[in-house]
Structure 1
Amino acid sequence: MVNTIITKTTGKNKVVDFRDGLVAANRDDYANMHGAGGRKGKAAVSVIKVYICDYSNGTGVNSRTLHASMSPELCEQLLEVCRQNIGVQVIDPNLEVLKEQRAISHKLSKSADMGFGVLNSCVKLLDGIVKAEGEGRGVPALAALAAGARNLLAKPRDKAMEPSSPAPLAPIQVPRHMDFTYAQDRVHAFGEVKEGDIVPVQRLNIFHQTFRSDGQMGNYPWTVKITNAKAPVHFQATGATTFSSSGMTEKQEAFIQVSDADMYRMMSRVCHFVSVWEHTVAAQVVRGGLEAREVEWRAGSGSTSES
């Protein structure tokens, strides 16, 4: 039996895989390449299928398998997020804005040192006065007191006024992190379906959360969650179909947490598969559509010249 699984990864008692659900557009819609759905006569929507199997309660009949569909374009978005979570970004510390900020911080630091020095000198001066009084020598003359205070306070001032520059810094290294959230609802309303009819629905949530709620960096920052249920269908004036979450019944959920490395590997393989598919299957559709358009153009051009 032909296997349609493109790639997969396993977790604790769980597995997620991505499968081929791509559909070529009809010849008359060759420029779409991928089927986009719509009215009768159009090709079905081209998707990548996502399956999560949860066998936490056992295998076979005790396991639970849920699926959802995602667009090929979403796989490219996910791969881009994966790329933004690789390695460490290095920033040149000699950028003008950083040099200005260091100069300001250096001045503030020197001012703080001077303020502490002045405070410390005042405390020493007061201690000296209290000590002199305790020894029965009385308070020194005012001139002597002023001279002592001046000498003490001048030291931190002179030190703060000494010319100096901030110490050079090594390149600044910043770990690369990018979080992402995606939510998608799909309604499977086929055939003669009326407003309010109960139909199968699916919800797909994919998100990347670098830090856990406790502030620690997570080893498995990706979460893929699928919800399968039934719900009343609603038809909007635009032709779109929706459903209300509050009306969901027979709801089943499954999720899996994935590492950055595994998510990158899977999305890379899916995107490569889509590219190969477009260069083989979709390329034939494009070729056929262009040939048909050429025939139509020649037929139309010939009838015009004959008239």
Structure 2
Amino acid sequence: MISTVITKTTGRNKVIDLRDGLVAAHEEDYANLHGAGGRKGKAPVSVIKVYICDYSAGTGEASRTLHASISPELCEQLLEICKQNIGVQVVEPNLAPLVEQRTVNQKLSKGADMNFGILNSGLKILERLVKADEAGETVKPSALISGAKTLLTKNRAKAMEESAPAPMAPFQIPRHMDFSYAQDRVHAFGTVKEGDMVPVQRLNIFHQTFRSDGQASNYPWTVKITNAKAPVHFQATGATTFSSSGMTDKQEAFIQISDADMYRMMSRVCHYISVWEHTVAAKVVAGGLQTRENEWRASQEATKGNPSQEEN
């Protein structure tokens, strides 16, 4: 039996797979490439299907499988986020702001050294006085003042010495970019009135580099699907929404994914979409262009056979 699974990733008692749900546009809408849904007669919406199976409670009937659909464009967006979480960023150490900051740090360090020297000189003088007192000796104040001046002058001169900031090697910053996506779907079909309980679905996909304890996460991606029932609301624009606070009969499934696995999955999905567009959608485009050409030729022939229309 043919499988529609494009790629998958397994976790602890969980698995996520992405499947082919792409639909070509009808020939009259060949420039769309993908089906976009809408009024009757249009091609269904083209999607990538996301399935999460949670068998933490057991396999078979004890497992729980939920699915949602995402647009091909979202897959490209997720791949771009994956690319921003690869490798490290190398920063040029001789950029003007960094050189200026090192100069400021050097001056602060010299100032701290001078203050320490002054304090140390004062302690030496105090130590000399204490020793002299213990030995019953008399120390002339003029000698102490002269010695203190000499020590302070040496410390000040040392601190005021000018020298270029020490060169730094290029330093690296890990590349991180977080992301959050939320998608709600309301399945309100038939004769549904305002406030009726209808099936709803919520999909959350997010990347969180650091855990709540501040440590970098080994599995920063989370994909979560929620199925439930909730009161439906009809907007003036014709859109349908639901109240999150009124959700009942909730079923949830989620999986955490590493950066490497998410990149691999999104890369394979995007490559598949590209191949599909070049094989399936390309035929629709060719057919649509040919039909368009035929219609144009037919209109030209009709114009030639009707002089009055040609004059107009």
TM-score for both structures, normalised by structure 2: 0.92
Q: Which moved more, 1:270-279 or 1:286-295?
A: 286-295
Give distance in 2, aligned partners of 1:204 and 1:31: 29
Describe the shift of the 1:300–1:236 C-alpha distance in structure 2 as closer, same or farther (beyond 3 A): farther
Residues 23, 35 of structure 1: 8 Å contact kept: yes
Give distance in 1, aligned partners of 2:201 and 2:239: 15
Residues 9, 16 of structure 1: 8 Å contact kept: yes
Report the counterpart of residue 91 of structure 2 in structure 1: 91
Alpha-carbon RMSD: 1.8
In structure 2, the gaps of 5 or more residues are none
Give distance in 2, aligned partners of 1:23 and 1:255: 27
Describe the shift of the 1:197–1:146 C-alpha distance in structure 2 as closer, same or farther (beyond 3 A): same
User: SS at 1:43's partner residue?
Assistant: coil
Report the counterpart of residue 214 of structure 2 in structure 1: 215
Structure 1 residue 49 displacement after superposition: 0.6
In structure 1, the gaps of 5 or more residues are none
User: SS at 1:82's partner residue?
Assistant: helix
Q: What amino acid sits opposite 1:296 in the alignment?
A: E
Q: What amino acid sits opposite 1:121 in the alignment?
A: S
Residues 88, 173 of structure 1: 8 Å contact kept: yes
Structure 1 residue 72 displacement after superposition: 0.9
Q: What amino acid sits opposite 1:216 in the alignment?
A: Q
Structure 1 residue 291 displacement after superposition: 2.3
Structure 1 residue 138 displacement after superposition: 4.3
Describe the shift of the 1:304–1:192 C-alpha distance in structure 2 as closer, same or farther (beyond 3 A): farther
Describe the shift of the 1:136–1:23 C-alpha distance in structure 2 as closer, same or farther (beyond 3 A): same
Q: Deviations over 1:251-295 (max 9, x none)?
A: 100111111111111111100011111111111222222223333
Q: What amino acid sits opposite 2:161 in the alignment?
A: E
Q: Deviations over 1:87-123 (max 9, x none)?
A: 1221221222222221221121111111211122122
Give distance in 1, aligned partners of 2:44 and 2:189: 12
Give distance in 2, aligned partners of 1:244 and 1:15: 30
Give distance in 2, aligned partners of 1:249 and 1:137: 93
Residues 129, 140 of structure 1: 8 Å contact kept: no
Give distance in 2, aligned partners of 1:2 and 1:182: 31
Give distance in 2, aligned partners of 1:210 and 1:242: 31
Q: Is the counterpart of residue 175 in structure 1 residue 161 in structure 2?
A: no
Q: Is the counterpart of residue 54 in structure 1 residue 54 in structure 2?
A: yes
Q: What amino acid sits opposite 1:41 in the alignment?
A: G
Report the counterpart of residue 12 of structure 2 in structure 1: 12
Give distance in 1, aligned partners of 2:193 and 2:78: 36
Structure 1 residue 31 displacement after superposition: 1.6
Q: What amino acid sits opposite 1:227 in the alignment?
A: T
Aligned pairs for 1:283-294 (under 5 A) are: 283-294=282-293
Q: What amino acid sits opposite 1:237 in the alignment?
A: A
- Calculate percent identity across the aligned residue pairs: 75
Describe the shift of the 1:271–1:283 C-alpha distance in structure 2 as closer, same or farther (beyond 3 A): same
Q: Deviations over 1:33-88 (max 9, x none)?
A: 11112222222111111001011111111110001111111111111111111112
Describe the shift of the 1:189–1:300 C-alpha distance in structure 2 as closer, same or farther (beyond 3 A): farther
Q: Which moved more, 1:157-166 or 1:4-13?
A: 157-166
Aligned pairs for 1:126-137 (under 5 A) are: 126-137=126-137
Structure 1 residue 304 displacement after superposition: 4.8
User: SS at 2:270's partner residue?
Assistant: helix
Q: Is the counterpart of residue 185 in structure 1 residue 184 in structure 2?
A: yes
Q: What amino acid sits opposite 1:84 in the alignment?
A: Q
Q: Which moved more, 1:109-118 or 1:123-132?
A: 123-132
Structure 1 residue 136 displacement after superposition: 3.6
Aligned pairs for 1:22-33 (under 5 A) are: 22-33=22-33
Describe the shift of the 1:304–1:120 C-alpha distance in structure 2 as closer, same or farther (beyond 3 A): farther
Describe the shift of the 1:246–1:16 C-alpha distance in structure 2 as closer, same or farther (beyond 3 A): same
Q: Deviations over 1:185-227 (max 9, x none)?
A: 1112234433333322111111111111122222111111110
User: SS at 2:45's partner residue?
Assistant: coil
Report the counterpart of residue 260 of structure 2 in structure 1: 261
